[in-house]
Amino acid sequence: MFNLLKTEGKARRARFETVHGTIETPVFMNVGTAAAIRGGASTDDLREIKTLVELSNTYHLHMQPGEDLIARLGGLHKFMNWDKPILTDSGGFQVFSLQKIRRIKEEGAYFTSYIDGRKIFMGPEESMQIQSKLGSDIAMAFDECIENPAPRDYVEKSVARTTRWLKRCIDEHRRLASLPETINPGQLLFGINQGGVYDDIRVEHMKEIAKIEGLDGYAIGGLSVGETADEMYRIIDAVEPHMPKDKPRYLMGVGTPLNILEGVYRGIDFFDCVLPLRNAQHGNVFTWNGKVRILAEKFKYDGTPIDENCGCPACRSYSKGYIRHLLKADERLGMRLCVLHNLWFYNHLMIDIRNALDNGTFAQFKREKEEIYSTRI
């Protein structure tokens, strides 16, 4: 299932088998929260820009259009016309991001719908049931994502509850896989490490969940939610030695190109982040020479592509001056082109990282790129 091909220091080059295909790692998953990439990118676009994994959100799909509708239409792959792997987040992040409209109990989390105000409950069993109906390749266990910083006593209680929730997730995941009507009985399940910025809590939690049978991979969650980059790297360094070597590691919600380089360097295999999309929305695009703000006045009369060395649909056909005009005029095409460019950049950054690991030159690659990716043009 997980084939570790090569290492360079802690950095890992591997292949991970799923029902809908092989995932080459390290990999950046493209975020399509509600079964679509924000900005108007279709699944045909994703295939063209070399996307390996699409990520959708359990909570948002439960809210709209509902997992029963998606299941009736054949599951998430058929619903969105995507024939490659899909990972579904459990809804645990919404326990953090929607804290003003939720309550947490031992049984799970109670939410107020942001659509119509109705009361919604989601616990470990419900999260597994929804993800089973979606038919994703990788399901995430239901957890509580804790804000940083948080009081130590609260973090300890929350992590203990997340462990209890994990055991309930595993039991329900096994039960669902045995049912004849299950869309994807080969669905995999990842557990999530929590613990805020407390190294000792993180390490003990990782040791505990690594002993629990029934998990196909492990994620480090609850980062990129208020801590500094140095704190994040410190937590990864503390947790990584206790993560099973024969299972994939996923750093949730991270991050910038620099974060990804540092994560790979520290032994992480999977990444995801909305950063490429949010930057595109504001006309900020990533290039092999640094970050560019297309809306800058200096690009008004620029007839060159965003990046001369890029093969994305935007750079093949359009100039910075034209894309700047689209953004200024609030034309949707402007954001779409920036989204396609940024996702192309991220996907090809991962291709370059994998090639460097294959060639034993990742350390040199990292040194060369660190200064470039800190540059704004």
pLDDT of the chain along its 377 residues, tens only? Answer: 899 999 999 999 999 999 999 999 999 999 999 999 999 999 999 999 999 999 999 999 999 999 999 999 999 999 999 999 999 999 877 766 666 667 899 999 898 888 888 888 999 999 999 999 999 999 999 999 888 899 999 999 999 999 999 999 999 999 999 999 999 999 999 999 999 999 999 999 999 999 999 999 999 999 988 899 999 999 999 999 999 999 999 999 999 999 999 999 999 999 999 999 999 999 999 999 999 999 999 999 999 999 999 999 999 999 999 999 999 999 999 999 999 999 999 999 999 999 999 999 999 999 999 988 887 77
Question: Class of the 2-273 domain?
Answer: alpha beta
Helix residue spans in 86-151 (DSSP H) = 92-97, 124-134
Q: What is the C-alpha separation between 90 and 155, in angstroms, rounded?
A: 20
Asked, as a colleague might, if the bond just before 276 is cis with ω within 30 of 0, I would say no
- CA dist 93 to 28, 272, 294, Å? 18, 13, 31
77: helix, strand or coil: helix
Q: What is the pTM of this model?
A: 0.97
Which residues are identified as catalytic?
89, 272
The residues of the chain that CATH labels 3.20.20.105 are 2-273
